[in-house]
Amino acid sequence: MTTAAEPTRARLAVAAAFLAQGLVFISLTTRLPTLQDRWELGEAALSGLLLMMVLLAGAGSVIAEVAAKRHTSAAVLRAGLVLVAVSAPTVAVAPSFPLFVLGLAAYGVGLGVVDAASNMQAVAVEHAYGRPILPSFHGAWTLGGLVGAGVTLAVAGTWPVSVVAVVPLLVAFGPLLPRVGDPMPTDIDVPWRPIVLVGLGMVLFYMVDTASMTWGPTYLDNTFATPERLVALATFPYLLATLIMRLAGDRLVARFGPVVLLRVGGVLAAAALAVVVSAPTWPVAVLGFTLVGFGVAVIAPLSFSAAARIAGGDDVPAHLRQARVDAVIGRFNQFNYVGALLGSVLTGLVGADNLRIGFAVPMVLVLAIVPLARAFR
């Protein structure tokens, strides 16, 4: 039985988990140019390593789905946070290339586990509150990313990643929400068809999001005469715009509805990426990345919220609802990594010789959110 105070405490704990994930992820991605130079990696080689990480993140999400059925999403999230806290410093300060690759692989698994389990916890807390609050959780991720980008702007080198990695370790001991009800039996059908339509929207978000955060700093570094300490500006204003939109997301959804927000945001994101692709100078490219953040910010939280709403429909017995939603969210999280493949790997491979061409891929594909938006109605 869940007490009245548990959802409030759990909301803070889950928000802290999102913040920790964003903090570590952005701390690493904004230092990719430095790691690329350290290990003398070309765009194609770096794309291969990112492909490995994304695939292992997908595996981590599957692990979270399976483990949550037996051990609850709270226990799985704790384990994932510990893995991230150990692997991220290994990536940042590895003394040899094999250890760097090993750390990146372990971080990929931890990334997937935390992504899936934190969203399982978030939708459970949202259900306990009885109103949409997913944008605020994803806003916490963005806030963590902003701090990570700010640290990169302020402090050179990769060693600060070892410091920020302490945060997920501390968050792992927070008061997460226990499972309400029973584990899900294997014979319950899940309405995958409408969930897949919503999932395609999330693919588009993570395609744009991952391309911007993974390749944005490298784009500024390689395409323009950007000062080395300022390449993180591809990420920092993008995250700031995303945070503003997500903090306003609950009210905007209530006022305009998800369909209008998604369609307007998709058109804005495509236009903003056109600015990035055609930018004559790095400040113009930074402006483009900032506008991208305003355009795509609410797609991911609306996707998770819609998937959970479909999975936990009125036909589901109350004592099975959270278990079924946990299972669906773990599987649904795979759309994250399909988008990440398109964003990080495809953008890098297509743009191996010229990242302007690479960013043209998400610029065109993000417009697919306009017809898909009706699935969120």
CATH number of the domain that residue 226 is part of = 1.20.1250.20
Confidence of residue 4 (pLDDT cuts 50, 70, 90): very low
pLDDT score of 330: 79
pTM of the model: 0.82
Which residue in 88, 260, 77 sits closest to 163, CA to CA?
88
| Cβ within 8 Å of residue 31, ≥6 positions away | 92, 152, 158, 161
Poorest-pLDDT segment among 11-25, 36-50, 185-199, 200-214 = 185-199
Token pair of 26 as six digits: 């952005």
**For the chain, what is the domain count?**
1
- How far apart CA 122 and CA 189 sit, in angstroms, is 23
Show the domain range for 97. 5-376
Residue type, 224: F
Mean pLDDT of the chain: 87
26-28-32 Cα angle (round to 5): 115
pLDDT digits (tens, 9 = 90+) for 263-282: 999 999 999 999 999 999 99
First CA to last CA across the chain, in angstroms? 32
Assess contact for 270 and 367: CB atoms under 8 A. yes
